[in-house]
Amino acid sequence: MITYRKADITDIPQLVHLRLQFLKEIYPKSDNSQDAVLKDQLRVYLTEHLTKNNFVNWFADAEGEIVASAGIVFYNQPPLYHNLEGKVAYILNVFTLPAFRRQGIAKTLLQKILDEAKERNTGKVSLHTSKEGRLLYEQFGFVAGDNEMTCQLPRIQ
């Protein structure tokens, strides 16, 4: 039986582990030599933002094993005509272990984080998706945009 719960500060090791699994699946050719640094940075981020409650993550648990995860980051931007309070959110880390896929788990997790966004009166929720995830998000009303662009800037090490 699958049960669902919101992550807390004690779940940081599981969050870090699932995030790394997710990243390795999405970016299979990434340089893993920085995994230790990435883990440390994830722990710092999660400690700060779980405590502030501007990052929320839900888990799916199967008999004591975390089998899926979905997160949402809440932040503000300058108000717009269609979002006068400027409340926005970004969904990330929607990840289910391969053996548990196609069972509706991600759909339930997505509903839980969207409910959280609605409770906070969030005006806009965005995400990036894989080809495999697109249909799920479309079921919830997400549409692909045609005016967003991104630029990966070089980082100072």
Question: pLDDT digit string (tens) for 104-135?
Answer: 999 999 999 999 999 999 999 999 888 888 89
Question: Which pLDDT does position 150 carry in this prediction?
Answer: 63
Question: Which pLDDT does position 82 carry in this prediction?
Answer: 85
Give the Cβ contact number of residue 116 at 10 Å: 17
Question: Which pLDDT does position 132 carry in this prediction?
Answer: 84
Question: Which pLDDT does position 129 carry in this prediction?
Answer: 87
Single pTM value for the model: 0.89
Could you tell me which residues come within 8 angstroms of residue 37 by beta carbon, excluding any fewer than 6 positions away?
A: none
Alpha-carbon distance values, 33 to 12, 36, 37, 111 (Å): 21, 8, 9, 35
Question: Which pLDDT does position 75 carry in this prediction?
Answer: 96
For the chain, list residues with pLDDT below 70: 149-153, 155, 157
